[in-house]
């Protein structure tokens, strides 16, 4: 520590608290041969890998991912609604490579916490000192009546962006005039709680331009949803009469799905659609559960300060696969967690105490191209339990009411949010 | 944590500034909890505080203007879309440190 630093500390009067330090402070020594393996090249994994290299440039970081490009779920509803091109939500890992991250396009198929290895599809096995695991979700088709994963070829989920996004977009484009789109979202918890309702909005935006007599029916696995009041206000303002929300208690649950007839059968009646967006119930990605990190549940419990799995040492789980206190399953939350996790992993590799900073989540949804709404939250791990809890006096949704300027501003901010977030994850 | 009287809060923050900025011209790196917190800011405001979109670039921003803005968002005297929902839990010290951190980063014109 330089003398200037000490003087500042004393002047600040925060005895003993390492709050700020000049850049000239001697960096803590890391284990030069440490290897961090990151599983998953989405929001959590990419953010963690880049942050790891930024914080500890001397540490080797390998990111293991399934494909050479990543299509983001955030803003994929703009593609489905015909407002953006697919190429606008696709990113390569070139910038991560330039940061010194070794990117392996070779899916991780097994994680062995006891042996500290990750096995890849090719058969290669990577050893790690710390693993950061951010593989997202898998679908529970076994929780749906009478269908398996192959149903997605006809009734797309479009809940992992890419070919599924294009399939759903094209089905909507070729739908007959006056046709019906059914969106069937699952019960909580699932990836991106406001996502199905933004999707309904932007499909309505497309239909109101190209197929104005068409209808959208949301056959929901729950009775209430994220930003519900704001969405419904927006639907009334922009697409009156086009979107019908059927809560769980009005249909009693899915009894059958007839993919040939494009019919969803419920306990209180059937819904016939021309396009069915079937979003199955979800769980942590299989690799997490197969490694025993889910305990007896479907998601991974973690320590909210270090993100280390409750069930395994040296394995840190972030993003949608984990239960991260009060934080929602969102891409933005995963990116924030990825960076915070990298700080914690760096501290542990250097033998320092992980620091209890503030994490945030901000999720914008577009109800229309110029009509944005948001939900925000601020979180810090609790001193006693390390649970990442919402902080009092923060968070919440946009103001309700007829506020066209605010909606326009938030639509602008939504686009800025996406630009900055993807720049941080994948930009040069 | 937060000070109920905005004027007193401002006074407190600028007293902290006087101390923080006594070593003018030095680039600052964050460590401790601040390192985690400023990484939350950049998720919206862009890497290293340089924004590509509608959110303002906060890198290289005058630290007093920065702190004034956050204090005004916190006490509700300045309207915002989302910032008012994010700054509530920040203490005067948090605000002074975040402001000093981003002020020391190279901004758009540097």
Q: What is the pLDDT of residue A14?
A: 36
Tell me, yes or no, whether A141 lies in a domain. no
For residue A192, tell me if it sits in a domain. Answer: yes
Q: What is the count of structural domains for chain A?
A: 2
Pair (A23, A131) in one structural domain:
yes
- Here the tokens at position A194 are 């406001």
Chain B closest CA to A105's CA: distance in Å? 25
Is A418 part of a structural domain of the chain?
yes
Entry pTM:
0.91
Q: What is the pLDDT of residue A65?
A: 98
Same domain, A70 and A94: yes
**Mean pLDDT confidence for A278-282:** 98
Cβ neighbours, 10 Å, residue A150: 9
Asked if residue A197 belongs to a domain, the reply is yes
Band of residue B6 on the pLDDT scale cut at 50, 70, 90: low
Q: Do A410 and B81 touch (CB under 8 A)?
A: yes
- Please indicate if any CB of chain B lies within 8 Å of the CB of A353: no
For an interface test with B, the pick among A334, A416, A427 (most B C-beta atoms closer than 10 Å) comes out as A416
Confirm if A286 and A107 have CB atoms less than 8 A apart. Answer: no
The answer to whether position B58 is within a domain reads yes
Q: pLDDT digit string (tens) for A41-92? A: 999 999 999 999 999 999 999 999 999 999 999 999 999 999 999 999 999 9
| Shared-domain flag, residues A229 and A297 | no
* Whether residue A106 sits in one domain with residue A35: yes
Structure tokens at A305: 């300060």
Considering the domain architecture, whether residues A154 and A252 belong to the same structural domain is answered as: yes
Q: Kindly state whether residue B59 falls inside one of the protein's structural domains.
A: yes
E-state strands within A177-306? 180-184, 215-219, 243-246, 254-258, 263-266, 269-272, 275-278, 282-284, 300-301
**What pLDDT, in 10s, does the model give residues A170-185?**
999 999 999 999 999 9
Percent of chain A predicted with pLDDT > 70: 93
Same domain, A156 and A259: yes
Do both A300 and A414 map to the same domain?
A: yes
pLDDT tens per residue across span A101-112: 999 999 999 999
Does A95 lie at the interface with B, CB-CB under 8 angstroms?
no
pLDDT above 90 for B108: no
Q: Are residues A310 and A239 in the same domain?
A: no
CB-nearest to B43 from A374, A378, A424 is A424
pLDDT the model gives residue A33: 84
Q: Kindly state whether residues A273 and A291 are assigned to the same domain.
A: no
* Average pLDDT rounded to a whole number, residues A127-148: 97
pLDDT of B2 above 60: no
Q: Which among A10, A357, A373 is the top mutation candidate for probing chain B, defined by the most B β-carbons within 10 Å of its own β-carbon? A: A357
- Tell if the CB–CB gap between B43 and A376 is shorter than 8 Å: no
Q: What is the mean pLDDT of residues A127-154?
A: 97
Same domain, A270 and A310: no
Tell whether the model's pLDDT for residue A11 goes beyond 50: no
A415 touches B at CB < 8 Å = yes
State the CB neighbour count (10 A cutoff) for residue B33.
20
Lowest mean pLDDT across A4-8, B12-16, B60-64: A4-8
Helices within B1-109 (DSSP H only)? 6-20, 33-45, 63-75, 83-86, 92-103
pLDDT at B65: 97
Query: Residue B9's pLDDT band (boundaries 50, 70, 90)?
Result: low
Pairwise CA distance, residues B108 & B110, whole Å? 6
Averaged pLDDT, B10-23: 64
Q: In terms of domains, do A299 and A265 share one?
A: no
Q: What is the pLDDT of residues B42-91, one digit of tens each?
A: 999 999 999 998 999 999 999 999 999 999 999 999 999 999 999 999 99
Interval A124-148 mean pLDDT: 97
- The rounded Cα B52 to chain-centroid distance in angstroms is 19
Q: Which of A220, A246, A280 is the last residue of a domain?
A: A280
Residue A3 has pLDDT above 60, yes or no: no
Res. B14 pLDDT band, cuts 50 70 90: confident
pLDDT at position B27, please?
Answer: 42
Nearest-neighbour CA in chain B from A165: distance (Å):
25
In a domain, B109, yes or no: no
pLDDT at A16 over 90: no
**pLDDT of B7:** 63
User: Which CATH number characterizes residue B66's domain?
Assistant: 1.10.760.10
Domain region containing B60: 6-21+29-103
pLDDT over 90 at A398, yes or no? yes
How many structural domains does chain B have?
1
Query: Phi and psi at residue A92, in whole multiples of 5°?
Result: -95, 175
Write down the number of H helices and E strands in chain A.
11, 26
Q: Is A51 on the interface with B (CB under 8 A)?
A: yes
Query: Is residue A102 one of the residues assigned to a domain?
Result: yes
- The answer to whether residue B44 sits within a structural domain is yes
Q: How many CB pairs under 8 A join A and B?
A: 169
Q: Of A280, A310, A326, which residue sits at a domain end?
A: A280
Over 60: is that where the pLDDT of A36 sits? yes
Average pLDDT, chain A: 93
Give the pLDDT confidence of B21-39 residue by residue, as tens digits: 554 434 445 778 999 999 9
Q: Cα separation of A401 and A215, whole Å? A: 25
Mean local confidence (pLDDT), A386-413? 97
pLDDT in tens, A235-275: 999 999 999 999 999 999 999 999 999 999 999 999 999 99
What is the Cα Rg of chain A in Å?
Answer: 23
Q: What residues of chain B have any CB closer than 8 angstroms to a CB in chain A?
A: 2, 16, 19-20, 22-23, 26-37, 39-47, 51-55, 81-82, 85-90, 93-94, 97, 100-101
The predicted pLDDT at position A303 comes to 98
Cα(B6)–Cα(B8) distance, rounded to whole angstroms?
5
Within-domain flag for A143? no
Domain that holds residue A200: 150-280
Residue percentage of chain A with pLDDT more than 90: 92
Residue A182, min C-alpha distance to chain B (Å): 32
pLDDT for B26: 41
CATH number of the domain where residue A414 is located:
3.50.50.60
């Amino acid at each position: 520590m330089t003398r200037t630093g000490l003087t500042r500390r004393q002047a600040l009067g925060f005895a003993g608290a390492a709050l700020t330090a000049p850049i000239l402070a001697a960096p803590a020594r890391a284990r030069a041969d440490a290897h961090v393996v990151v599983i998953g090249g989405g929001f959590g994994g990419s953010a963690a890998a880049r942050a790891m290299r930024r914080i500890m440039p001397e540490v080797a970081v390998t990111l293991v991912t399934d494909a050479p490009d990543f299509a983001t779920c955030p803003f994929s509803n703009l593609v489905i609604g015909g407002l953006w091109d697919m190429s606008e939500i696709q990113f390569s890992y070139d910038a991560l490579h330039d940061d010194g991250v070794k990117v392996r396009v070779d899916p991780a198929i097994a994680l062995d916490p006891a042996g500290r290895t990750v096995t890849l599809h090719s058969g290669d096995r990577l050893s790690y000192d710390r693993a950061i695991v951010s593989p997202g979700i898998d679908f529970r088709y076994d929780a749906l009546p009478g269908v398996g994963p192959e149903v997605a070829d006809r009734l797309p989920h479009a809940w992992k962006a890419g070919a599924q996004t294009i399939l759903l977009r094209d089905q909507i484009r070729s739908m007959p005039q006056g046709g019906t789109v059914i969106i069937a979202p699952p019960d909580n918890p699932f990836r991106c709680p406001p996502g199905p309702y933004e999707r309904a909005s932007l499909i309505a935006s497309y239909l109101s331009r190209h197929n104005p007599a068409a209808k959208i029916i949301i056959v929901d696995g729950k009775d209430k949803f994220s930003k519900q009041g704001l969405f419904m206000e927006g639907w009334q303002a922009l697409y009156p009469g086009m979107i019908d929300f059927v809560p769980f208690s009005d249909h009693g649950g899915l009894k059958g799905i007839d993919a040939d007839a494009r019919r969803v059968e419920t306990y209180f009646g059937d819904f016939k659609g021309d396009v069915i967006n079937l979003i199955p119930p979800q769980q942590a990605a299989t690799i997490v559960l197969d490694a025993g990190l889910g305990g007896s549940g479907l998601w991974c419990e973690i320590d909210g300060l270090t993100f280390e799995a409750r069930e395994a040492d040296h394995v840190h789980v972030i993003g949608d696969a984990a239960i991260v206190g009060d934080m929602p399953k969102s891409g933005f939350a995963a990116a924030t967690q990825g960076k915070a996790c990298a700080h914690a992993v760096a501290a542990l590799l250097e033998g320092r105490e992980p620091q209890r900073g503030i994490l945030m989540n901000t999720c914008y949804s577009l109800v229309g191209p110029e009509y944005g709404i948001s939900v925000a939250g601020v979180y810090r791990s609790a001193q006693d339990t390390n649970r990442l809890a919402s902080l009092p006096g923060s968070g919440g949704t946009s103001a309700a009411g007829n506020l066209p300027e605010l909606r326009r501003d938030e639509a602008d901010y939504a686009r800025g949010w996406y630009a900055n977030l993807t720049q941080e994850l994948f930009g040069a | 944590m937060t000070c109920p009287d905005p004027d007193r809060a401002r006074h407190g923050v600028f007293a902290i500034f006087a101390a923080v900025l006594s070593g003018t011209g030095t680039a600052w790196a964050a460590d401790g909890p601040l390192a985690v917190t400023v990484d939350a800011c950049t998720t919206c405001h862009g890497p290293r505080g340089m924004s590509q979109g509608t959110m303002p670039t906060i890198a290289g921003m005058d630290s007093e203007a920065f702190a004034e803005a956050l204090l005004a968002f916190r006490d509700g005297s300045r309207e915002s879309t989302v910032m008012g929902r994010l700054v509530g839990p920040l203490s005067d010290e948090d605000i002074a440190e975040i402001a000093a951190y981003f002020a020391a980063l190279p901004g758009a014109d540097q």
